[in-house]
Structure 1
Amino acid sequence: MVQKYQSPVRVYKHPFELVMAAYERRFPKCPQMPIVLDCEIIKDEILDHGARRNTSRRCKLAVDAPYLFKKIIGVDVVYFMQTNYLDLANRTLSIEATNETFSSRIEIFERCRYYVHPDNPDWTCFDQTATLDIKNFFGFENSMEKMGMKQYTQTTLKGREIIEYFIDQLKSEGVTHIERWKASDETIPSELSPIKLTDEADTSDMLDGDFIAKHLGNLSPMQESKLLEFHKLCKTTSGIDKCPTYQTLLRFLRARDFNVEKAMLMLKESLVWRADNNIDELLKEYKMPHVILKHFPGSWHHQDKDGRPMYILRLGHMDVKGLLKAVGEEGLLKLSLHICEEGMQLIQESAIHLGKPVLSWCLLVDLEGLSMRHLWRPGIKVLLKIIETVEKNYPETMGRVLVVRAPRVFPIAWTIVSTFIDENTRSKFLFYGGPDCLHMKDGLEQYIDSQIIPDFLGGPCKTLIHEGGLVPKTLYKMNSEEEAQNGAPPHEHHNLYKTVDVRPGCIHEVVIKNNDPKSVLTWDFDVINSDLYFTLYRTTADLPAKNDSSTSFFDLSGFEEGKNYFREEPSTICRHKESVQGSHVMNSADTYVMHWFSPASSSSSSGPAQLMYFYEVLSSANYKGSMTSLQSGCSALSVASSCQSR
C-alpha cells in the first residue's frame, strides 16, 4: 500500500536568499539531524551565468530501527540520491530525493519546495510531499511502513527548527541580508527568458502552518497531510460547490480516524442533508414554539475553562413525553439542530474573541429528577434519532460532557443510549453522581470557573434556564373538530403518535396481526376532552373490512365471545386528561384488536373525545425482560397490563 504525505506551508519570515544560505549549512552533516551521516556531492553545475544551479548529492543515513531488525535486513546505513534545482532568478528551490538502497523493494520519493511568499516578497514558504511504496520487504512490509512514516514525520518536524537555527547563526556572524541575484545585459540575452526546470509554486490550495497553530491547534504532520489531501479532494469533487472550512474538514476527518475516503463520503452525505433540509437558513428562519420557550429546561451559559461555549440541559426536569406530544418528533429534532447551529456560531465567536483554537462546545447535563418515567420507549427512540442525526452532521463538535447528580436509575438509561454514541464522544463524558452539590462543585471547578457554576448546583451564577415541568395537555398537538370535518388527515408525529376524534357512541379500533408468539404489545395513549373505555381483544377468526365507526368488529354476526374472540384485557375507563401506558404478552399467533369506545354521554364534555395513541410490538427474540422494553412508569419487569395516570 502506498503511503502519502503532504505538509502544510511553513513560512519563514526571512528573505529567500537568507533562507538559502541557512539551508546550505545543513551539508554535509547537520548536528541537529544525527540520522544524516554524510552527503557527497556527485554533480554540481552552474547554468545561465549563475541564474541556476543544479546539485546532486548521495546522502548516507543511519537506519533508525531496532538492532534485531537491522541484523535481519543486513544493513546499518541506507543511501539516498538528492537533486536540488535552485533558480535564483525566480527565487525558487526544488528538491527531489529517492532511495538508492533497496530500490527494487521500496520506492521512496520526496519533493520539497522553497519559494517566495505570494503576499510578502521578504518571506519564504516551504512545503513538501512524499510517497512510500513498499513492494516486498522480507515479510516486514506493514512494520516497515509504520516505521518509515514515523521516522519521516519526526524528521520533518525538525526541518523548520534547523533553518531557524542556522539563520540565527548567520545573524550572530553579522550576516543579516544577502543581495538578490540580478542578471546583467552580458549574462543573459534580452531575447531569452529564464529557463525553469520546476513548476511555479501553486499556493492556492496550501495550508499555512501558522494558520494551523492559530485556528486548528496541535496536529501531527500526518494529520496535517490528511487535512491538505481532504481539502484538495473537496475542491475537485463534483457535487461540492463550496469547500467547507478547514475546521469543518478537520472534524469530519477526526470522526473517521483521518481516513480521507471515509471522511469524504460522510461529508458528501451531510452536505446533501443540509441542502435538503435548508439547514444553512435555520438560525434565521427557526421560530421557537411557545411550549419550548416555557417548558424546555436548557440554555447557553458562558464558557468552560478551555473557552468552549457551554450549554446546560436539566434533563431530569424535562417532560419528554409532554414536549414530544406538543411539538412532535420533528419539532424536537429541529430544536436540537438549532442548538447545534447556535453552538457552531458560538464556537467561532469564542475562537475570535480568545485568539486561539476553539473547535467544540461543552455540555452540562443535570439529572436531578431523572426517573423511570424518562425511560419511555417513544422518548428513547426520538433521543436516539437525534443522536444519530447530530453525530452524522456535526461530528466532533462535543468537546466535553459533564453529567451531574446522576441518580441510581441513570446506569439503566446510559446502557440504553451509550451504545448509539460514537466511541470518541463517549470518552468525553465525565460523571458526578449523588445529590451532594458541594462535593460535585469542587469537581466541576476543574473545568468551569467557580464564578459561573449555576446556582442550582451550589454556585453563585444565575441562569436563564426554565424549570421545565409538566407540559399542559392543552398544548398537545391535536386535530380540531373543524379540521376533521374538513377532511384533514389525523396529525402524526412522524408515525410515532396518531390522533383521532372518537365521537359519542363511536369506537376506534387498531388491528394487530401477530405472527410472533410471546411478543409484547406496548401502548401509550392520552384522552382529551372526554372519557373513553379501552379494551384489548384477541380473535382467532379473520376480520372483514369495516368502515362503520359506530360498530365494533365483534358486533358483527358470526362473532361470539369466548368462542372465536376473547377479552385479553378487561374494559377500563380512561378519564378526561388521563395518560395510560400498558403492555401485554401476545402468547398466540392470532389477531389482536385495541378497542376504544366513547360513551354516548360524558360528564366531561359533549364534544368528541380526542385520542392520541402510540403502540409498538416488541419481538419475542428481543424481549427477554430487558430494560429497554419497560413502559413508562413501570418500576419492575412485568408482562401484565397497567393503566397509570401521569
Structure 2
Amino acid sequence: MVQEYVSPVRVHKFPFEMVMAAYERRFPSCSQIPVVVDCPIIEDCWSPDDSQRDTTRRCQLNVEAPYLLKKMIGVDYVYFIQKNHLDLESRVLEIEATNETFASRVGVVEKCKYYVHPENNEWTCFEQTAILDVHNFFGLENTVEKIAMKQYSANISKGKELIESFMKEVYADGVMDLRPWQKQDPEHNRNLRRIISRNTEPLSPRAAAEPRRHSQPDQYTLDSEYIKRNLGELTPMQESRLLQLRKWIADLQKGKVPSDKTLLRFLRARDFNVEKAREMLSQSLLWRKKHQVDRILSEYETPDVVKQYFPGGWHHHDKDGRPLYILRLGQMDVKGLLKSIGEDGLLKLTLHVCEEGLKLLEEATRSSAAAVQRWSLLVDLDGLNMRHLWRPGVRALLRVIRLVEDNYPETMGRVLIVRAPRVFPILWTIVSTFIDENTRSKFLFYGGKDYLQPGGLLDYIPKDLIPDFLGGPCKSFVHEGGLVPKNLYVAGVFTERDGDPLSEDTLYRCISLAKGQVHEVLVVNRDPMSVLTWDFDVLRQSLSFCVYRTAHLLPPPSHLAHTHAGACVGGGGDDYGSIIERREWQEGEHYHRVEPALVCHDGESVQGSHVMLEEGSYVLQWRCESGAAQLVYFHETLASHHYKGSMSSLQSGTSGFSCLSGKSAASSCPSR
C-alpha cells in the first residue's frame, strides 16, 4: 500500500538566508513540535569555500499513537535519519528524511525544499512531499497510514508558523539582513556560515545588499496563498490530490492544462479519487475538443425563438456571492422549443449557459474576498403541469442533465425550487434518479406561497434582489416564456423516436361531449401503492370531474378502446352510460368516490394524482351537464417501485390555473 502526499508551496516573505538562519533554530528540539524529542547532528560538513553544507541528524520522535498500539508494537519512540544539503551559492536547501525504525515493514520518505521565490527575490518558497509504503505492519496498515497522515498534516500547518516564530529570535539577536553568498567575498561567507550555523558572532560591517539569483521551481507546485484565495480551503490530502492530478493531466495533454478550478471540480465529483477524476476529466476534454466547446462563447448565436420564448437567464448574485440563474420552467413550452431548435439546439443553449456560468464565477472570485466556485439556480414551477411530462421533452431534459453532470460537475451550489405544484413530485421521481446524489442534496423545495416566509428565499437571496414575478422589488429581465407559435417550428429539426409510446399523436386525447354524456377512463390496478396521475384542459363549456374506485377488477366493456397497459377509455351517454352506473351499483356500497367532484370551467387546467393504496378498478370520469363541451386530457400510472418520494406529499388536487394552459384554451384539438 503506497500513498504519496504532496503539499502546495508555502511562501515565507523573508529572504532565503534569513529563513535559513530561522530554520536552524528548530534544532535539536523546540516546544512548538513536541513530537520531536531530539535531533542531534551525527555528521556535518562544509565545503572549503563555505557555499555547501551537508548535515545528517538522527531524530527521535515520540509516537503519536494510542497507548494500546504502542504496547502492541513495543516502542515509545521511532527514529528518522534526516539528511540536509544546503547550497548557498544556488540558494537552495534540500531535505530528505527516512525512517530507521520498522524500516523493513514501513517505508517513509519525506522530501522538502527551500528556494528563492521565482518572482520576488526577497521571498522564500517551501515545498514538501512524502511517500508512505506500508509493507506489513501486524495487520494495522490502515491505522499506520492514518497516524502518518495526521502527523504530516500537522507538520504542514506548523511549518510556516515556526519560521515566523524563529525569525523573531533572529531579529532579537541583532540579525536584520543577510546578504547572499558571494564568491569574491570569503569574509562575508564565513560570517554567513556562522549565523546559519547558529554561531552568534556578528556579521562583517561590509555586508551589503546585491541582486539575488533564484532557481526555477517545480512546474507542478502551487502557492498556498493562491489556493486559499482562488480555490478555497483545502485539506492537505485534497491539496496533494490536486497537485497529482495536475501533473498527470499535463503529462497526458502534452500542452494546455485545464485551470486548477476545473481540476478541483472533477476531483470533488469523484471524492478526490485521482484515478477516477483523471478518467472523467480525460473523457470530458475529448468531448470539449470534439464539439469545440472552447469556442462557444465567441461563436454561439442565440436563436430568435430562444430570445423570445426561453424563460431563463442570469439574475445578479445570491447572499454567498454566487451568480444566480433563474429558470421559469413552469412557463416553458418544451414541445415548442424542441420543434423549433431540436435537441441539439437545446444542448448548445445549455452549453452556452454553463460556459457563461464559468466566466461569471471567475468574475465573482476577482471581485470577492473569497473564492466563488459554484453558482445557484432558482427554478419557478408556477404553471407546471402534466404536459411537461411529454416523453420526448423528458428525454431531452435527461440528456441535458447527463451532459452537465459529466462535463460541469460541482458547479451547482444550490437549487431553489419555488411554487412547486402537486404534480411536481411526479416529474421529480422521473428525473431525480439521473442526478448525482451530492447534487440532489442541494435542492430546496417550496410549495405554495411560503417561499417568502422565514426559512425561504430570503435566507439565500438578498431581499432587494428577489425578482418581481415572485413578489420582490427587483426587475427581472428573464423572459416569461409562453407557447411558441407554430410558424416558428422548423421542419425536420425534431422527430419522434420510433417506438415511443407517448409520441405527440398519442400523448393527449381530444374529446367532445354533448349534454348529459360522460367520458371515462378505466384503470385496473394490480400494483398497490402505484400512483394514478392526470392532466386535462377544458377547451369549451364546463365539465364535472371525479375519480371512483371499486374493489372489483372490472373487464373493459366491448366498446372501450385500450390506450395504455391496464387502462381503457370510452364515451358514454344514451348508448352506453357510465361504466359503473350501468351496473346499477350503489355508491358507498359497491363503489366509492376517492376524489371529490370538481366543476371545471372553460379555459381551466387541472392536474392531479392519487395514490392507489389497494388493488381494484379506478375510473376517471368527465361529465357534461349542459351544452357541447370539449376537453383534452392525458393520464398515466406510475409503478410503485418507480416512485421513491413521500406518498403523503402526493395528494390529488388542482395546481391552479397556469399561464400556459390559459393561453392554450383557444387552441384546437389537432394542435395537441
TM, length-normalised to structure 1: 0.73
Aligned to 1:123: 123
C-alpha distance in 1, partners of 2:149/2:482? 57
Indicate conservation of the 8 Å contact 2:451/2:457, yes or no: no
Mark the CA change 1:213 to 1:638 in structure 2 (over 3 Å): closer, same or farther.
closer
In the TM superposition, 1:437-586 aligns within 5 A as 437-439=451-453, 443-478=456-491, 491=492, 493=494, 496-497=495-496, 521-525=501-505, 583-585=563-565
Indicate conservation of the 8 Å contact 2:63/2:77, yes or no: yes
Is 1:219–2:258 an aligned residue pair? no
Q: Does 22-31 or 319-328 show the bigger shift?
A: 319-328
Aligned to 2:248: 233
Q: Report the AA paired with residue 89 of structure 2.
A: A
Aligned to 1:95: 95
Mark the CA change 1:90 to 1:521 in structure 2 (over 3 Å): closer, same or farther.
closer
Q: Report the AA paired with residue 480 of structure 2.
A: E
C-alpha distance in 2, partners of 1:163/1:570? 91
Aligned to 2:666: none
Residues 254-275 of structure 1, C-alpha deviation per residue, up to 9 Å, x if partnerless?
1112222222221221111112
Indicate conservation of the 8 Å contact 1:81/1:99, yes or no: yes
Is 1:337–2:351 an aligned residue pair? yes
Q: Report the AA paired with residue 5 of structure 2.
A: Y
Mark the CA change 1:645 to 1:583 in structure 2 (over 3 Å): closer, same or farther.
farther
Mark the CA change 1:111 to 1:633 in structure 2 (over 3 Å): closer, same or farther.
farther
Corresponding residue SS for 2:123 = strand
Residues 320-348 of structure 1, C-alpha deviation per residue, up to 9 Å, x if partnerless?
12212222111111111111111111111
Corresponding residue SS for 1:165 = helix
Indicate conservation of the 8 Å contact 2:99/2:108, yes or no: yes
Following TM superposition, by how much is the alpha carbon of 1:452 offset from its aligned partner in structure 2, in angstroms?
Answer: 0.6
Aligned to 2:513: none
C-alpha distance in 1, partners of 2:181/2:297? 56
Is 1:2–2:2 an aligned residue pair? yes
Indicate conservation of the 8 Å contact 2:336/2:483, yes or no: yes
Q: Alignment identity in percent?
A: 56
Q: How many residues get paired?
A: 507
C-alpha distance in 1, partners of 2:107/2:292? 48
Q: Report the AA paired with residue 457 of structure 1.
A: L
Corresponding residue SS for 1:412 = helix
Following TM superposition, by how much is the alpha carbon of 1:408 offset from its aligned partner in structure 2, in angstroms?
Answer: 2.1
Indicate conservation of the 8 Å contact 1:633/1:644, yes or no: no
C-alpha distance in 1, partners of 2:67/2:110? 26
Q: Report the AA paired with residue 364 of structure 1.
A: L
Aligned to 1:600: none
Indicate conservation of the 8 Å contact 2:153/2:236, yes or no: yes
Is 1:406–2:420 an aligned residue pair? yes
C-alpha distance in 1, partners of 2:363/2:281? 23
Following TM superposition, by how much is the alpha carbon of 1:569 offset from its aligned partner in structure 2, in angstroms?
Answer: 11
Q: Does 365-374 or 380-389 show the bigger shift?
A: 365-374
Residues 238-258 of structure 1, C-alpha deviation per residue, up to 9 Å, x if partnerless?
x55311111111111111122
Q: Report the AA paired with residue 358 of structure 1.
A: V
C-alpha distance in 2, partners of 1:445/1:48? 72
C-alpha distance in 2, partners of 1:185/1:167? 25
Is 1:309–2:306 an aligned residue pair? no
In the TM superposition, 1:373-452 aligns within 5 A as 373-439=387-453, 443-452=456-465
C-alpha distance in 2, partners of 1:437/1:117? 52
Q: Report the AA paired with residue 497 of structure 1.
A: E
Is 1:33–2:47 an aligned residue pair? no
Following TM superposition, by how much is the alpha carbon of 1:205 offset from its aligned partner in structure 2, in angstroms?
Answer: 2.9
Following TM superposition, by how much is the alpha carbon of 1:463 offset from its aligned partner in structure 2, in angstroms?
Answer: 0.3
C-alpha distance in 2, partners of 1:408/1:276? 41
Aligned to 2:656: none
Q: Report the AA paired with residue 525 of structure 1.
A: D
Q: Report the AA paired with residue 24 of structure 1.
A: E
Indicate conservation of the 8 Å contact 2:116/2:215, yes or no: no
Aligned to 2:264: 250
Mark the CA change 1:163 to 1:69 in structure 2 (over 3 Å): closer, same or farther.
same
Aligned to 1:363: 377
C-alpha distance in 1, partners of 2:564/2:445? 36
TM, length-normalised to structure 2: 0.71
Indicate conservation of the 8 Å contact 2:284/2:407, yes or no: yes
Indicate conservation of the 8 Å contact 2:268/2:410, yes or no: yes
Indicate conservation of the 8 Å contact 2:61/2:77, yes or no: yes
Q: Report the AA paired with residue 155 of structure 1.
A: N
Following TM superposition, by how much is the alpha carbon of 1:522 offset from its aligned partner in structure 2, in angstroms?
Answer: 3.5
Q: Report the AA paired with residue 220 of structure 1.
A: T
Corresponding residue SS for 2:289 = helix
Mark the CA change 1:638 to 1:61 in structure 2 (over 3 Å): closer, same or farther.
closer
Mark the CA change 1:267 to 1:388 in structure 2 (over 3 Å): closer, same or farther.
same
Aligned to 2:47: 47
Indicate conservation of the 8 Å contact 1:370/1:410, yes or no: yes
Mark the CA change 1:202 to 1:438 in structure 2 (over 3 Å): closer, same or farther.
closer
Is 1:280–2:260 an aligned residue pair? no
Mark the CA change 1:278 to 1:469 in structure 2 (over 3 Å): closer, same or farther.
same
Q: Report the AA paired with residue 77 of structure 1.
A: Y
C-alpha distance in 1, partners of 2:81/2:372? 43
Q: Report the AA paired with residue 214 of structure 1.
A: R
CA RMSD of aligned residues (A): 2.9
Following TM superposition, by how much is the alpha carbon of 1:201 offset from its aligned partner in structure 2, in angstroms?
Answer: 5.0
Mark the CA change 1:172 to 1:570 in structure 2 (over 3 Å): closer, same or farther.
farther
Indicate conservation of the 8 Å contact 2:375/2:413, yes or no: yes
Corresponding residue SS for 1:204 = coil
Query: What stretches of structure 2 of length at least 5 have no aligned partner?
Result: 189-213, 508-556, 568-614, 617-631, 640-668
Q: Report the AA paired with residue 34 of structure 1.
A: P
Q: Report the AA paired with residue 469 of structure 2.
A: F
Is 1:68–2:68 an aligned residue pair? yes
Following TM superposition, by how much is the alpha carbon of 1:160 offset from its aligned partner in structure 2, in angstroms?
Answer: 0.9
Following TM superposition, by how much is the alpha carbon of 1:477 offset from its aligned partner in structure 2, in angstroms?
Answer: 2.3
Query: What stretches of structure 1 of length at least 5 have no aligned partner?
Result: 189-198, 479-490, 499-509, 513-519, 528-567, 573-581, 588-623, 626-631
Mark the CA change 1:305 to 1:569 in structure 2 (over 3 Å): closer, same or farther.
farther
Corresponding residue SS for 2:108 = strand
Following TM superposition, by how much is the alpha carbon of 1:202 offset from its aligned partner in structure 2, in angstroms?
Answer: 3.3
Corresponding residue SS for 1:127 = strand
C-alpha distance in 2, partners of 1:22/1:522? 75
Mark the CA change 1:445 to 1:171 in structure 2 (over 3 Å): closer, same or farther.
farther
Mark the CA change 1:117 to 1:521 in structure 2 (over 3 Å): closer, same or farther.
closer
C-alpha distance in 2, partners of 1:310/1:186? 64
Residues 169-212 of structure 1, C-alpha deviation per residue, up to 9 Å, x if partnerless?
33344432123333347799xxxxxxxxxx96533332111211
Following TM superposition, by how much is the alpha carbon of 1:112 offset from its aligned partner in structure 2, in angstroms?
Answer: 0.3
Following TM superposition, by how much is the alpha carbon of 1:638 offset from its aligned partner in structure 2, in angstroms?
Answer: 9.4
Aligned to 1:487: none
Indicate conservation of the 8 Å contact 1:5/1:131, yes or no: yes
C-alpha distance in 1, partners of 2:323/2:563? 43
Q: Report the AA paired with residue 475 of structure 1.
A: L
Aligned to 2:107: 107
C-alpha distance in 2, partners of 1:569/1:130? 79
Aligned to 1:77: 77
Aligned to 1:209: 224
